[in-house]
């Protein structure tokens, strides 16, 4: 199975010998779906700025054709602007932004400005899709460090091959299971007998309580008790944070089918141990790069699209689950220890200790 290192050479979960279900695409990334590109702007300045912006172009920076899409709010303690129009119209009409909770507005406004200046508006108006998770432990969200220049950097500097993971882009200041979290990705390539389709997942991971963490089925969190962040013995269910998952595929799916795929990201999250706490805003979106002309009909308004029947969706559902699970763990494996706002510090996932626990439970590949 393919598992190239991140673009800077950081390790990934499979480099530790962690086994995951399913065969990956070439880069084991959302960019295995042809056309998809990802851009980051990372802000690490002084003692309190630990944040950034992530941009995903569904068809690449130069192709502005809408894609069929759908969202699913597993737990709505968060934000994904533009989701109402995706739900109503069935299309995603521009790039996806992901950032921290208090920077959604500037990212949204700058995407519109970029679309207008680059003749990238599908209609005369834009309702960008921007999602968030809260990085307020490591980052001073009220410092409003994300500026239009950062958003433009992420929009312009995109990659379509191996991409960076961990403390980059919107994931810079995020935590997962009381370890450093952030940005992560993974993909699955279905066997040809199931269509040969690609499914890629990108996550901004910022959720989970330590004892919940499971990796490839092993109860890792129960055995890594050093340096807890906020777990209170009197309230082990005090889960904070959020998770954003973007699922991409080249399979020809309609919006109602993509919603079903987006729902399956919940299962990928659950496989890493989460119980879906009240304070965790867990919002997922799925899109398909198939049917490139579906948003514009002929002179009579008729569009011609292809779609899989429901009996062929199960392998895609499984791929969505597996890619989401691995993307979350990849985000944690690539992240490094970080100290930020008010001296708050969080450790990275300890690789060798993880390997030892997994070895003990017979789960090391």
Task: Judge whether 280 counts as a catalytic residue.
Answer: yes
- Cα–Cα dist 158/202, whole Å: 14
Residue 354 lies in a domain: no
Structure tokens, 331: 């985000």
CA–CA dist 141, 133 (Å, integer): 11
Q: Give strand ranges (E) for the chain.
A: 37-45, 49-57, 67-75, 80-81, 91-92, 96-100, 129-133, 158-159, 175-176, 179-180, 182-189, 198-207, 240-249, 279-288, 338-339, 345-346
At 59, which CATH number?
3.60.70.12
Q: Distances in Å between the alpha carbon of 170 and those of 4, 280, 321?
A: 22, 17, 22
Q: Is residue 188 part of a domain?
A: yes
Determine which one of 242, 274, 288, 320 is catalytic: 242
**Could you say which of 135, 140, 250, 282 is catalytic?**
282
Do residues 132 and 101 make contact, with C-beta atoms less than 8 angstroms apart? yes
With respect to residue 359, please indicate whether it lies within any of the assigned structural domains.
no
Specify whether 32 is catalytic.
no
Would 97 be classed as within a structural domain?
yes
Q: Which of 103, 186, 280, 320 is catalytic?
A: 280
242: annotated active-site residue:
yes
pLDDT tens per residue across all 365 residues of the chain: 456 656 677 899 999 999 999 999 999 999 999 999 999 999 999 999 999 999 999 999 999 999 999 999 999 999 999 999 999 999 999 999 999 999 999 999 999 999 999 999 999 999 999 999 999 999 999 999 999 999 999 999 999 999 999 999 999 999 999 999 999 999 999 999 999 999 999 999 999 999 999 999 999 999 999 998 875 555 666 677 899 999 999 999 999 999 999 999 999 999 999 999 999 999 999 999 999 989 988 889 999 999 999 999 999 999 999 999 999 999 999 999 999 999 999 999 999 999 999 999 999 86
Range of the domain at 214: 13-295+307-339
CA separation for the pair 329, 348 (Å, rounded) = 12
In a domain, 110, yes or no: yes
Q: Which two tokens stand for residue 286?
A: 């799925």
Give the global pTM: 0.96
- Name the token pair of 43: 């802000």
Is 131 a domain residue? Answer: yes
Assess if residue 345 is contained within a domain.
Answer: no
What separation in angstroms does the CA of 323 have from each of 136, 152, 206, 263? 27, 28, 17, 13
The answer to the question of residue 265 being in a domain is yes
Judged by DSSP in three states, 157 sits in coil
Cα-trace Rg, the chain:
19
């Amino acid at each position: 199975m393919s598992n190239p290192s991140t673009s800077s050479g950081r390790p990934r979960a499979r480099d530790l010998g962690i086994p995951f279900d399913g065969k990956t695409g070439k880069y084991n990334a959302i960019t295995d779906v042809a056309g998809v590109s990802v851009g980051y702007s990372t802000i690490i300045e002084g003692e309190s700025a630990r944040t950034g912006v992530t941009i995903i172009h569904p068809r690449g920076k130069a192709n502005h054709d809408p894609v069929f899409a759908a969202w699913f709010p597993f737990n709505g303690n968060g934000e994904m602007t533009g989701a109402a129009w995706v739900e109503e119209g069935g299309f995603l009409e521009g790039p996806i932004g992901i950032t921290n909770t208090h920077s959604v507005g500037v990212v949204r406004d700058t995407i519109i400005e970029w679309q207008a200046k680059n003749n990238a508006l599908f209609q005369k108006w834009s309702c960008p899709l921007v999602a968030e998770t809260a990085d307020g432990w490591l980052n001073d969200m009220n410092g409003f460090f994300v500026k239009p220049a950062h958003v433009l950097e992420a929009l312009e500097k995109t990659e379509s091959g191996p991409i960076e993971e961990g403390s980059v882009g919107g994931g810079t200041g995020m935590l997962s299971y009381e370890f450093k979290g952030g940005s992560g990705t993974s993909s699955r390539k279905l066997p040809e007998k199931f269509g040969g389709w690609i499914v890629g997942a990108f996550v901004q991971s910022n959720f989970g309580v330590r004892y919940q963490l499971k990796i490839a089925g092993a109860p890792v969190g129960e055995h890594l008790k050093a340096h807890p962040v906020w777990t209170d013995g009197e309230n082990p269910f005090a889960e904070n944070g959020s998770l954003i998952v973007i699922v991409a595929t080249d399979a020809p799916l309609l919006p109602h089918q993509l919603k079903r795929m987006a729902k399956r990201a919940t299962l990928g999250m659950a496989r890493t141990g989460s119980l879906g706490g009240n304070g965790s805003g867990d919002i997922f979106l799925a899109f398909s790069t198939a049917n490139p002309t579906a948003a514009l009909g002929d002179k009579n308004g008729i569009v011609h699209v292809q779609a899989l029947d429901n009996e062929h969706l199960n392998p895609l559902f499984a791929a969505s689950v597996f890619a989401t699970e691995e993307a979350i763990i990849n985000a944690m494996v690539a992240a490094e220890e970080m100290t930020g706002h008010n001296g708050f510090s969080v450790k990275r996932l300890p690789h060798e200790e993880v390997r030892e626990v997994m070895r003990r439970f017979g789960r090391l590949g």
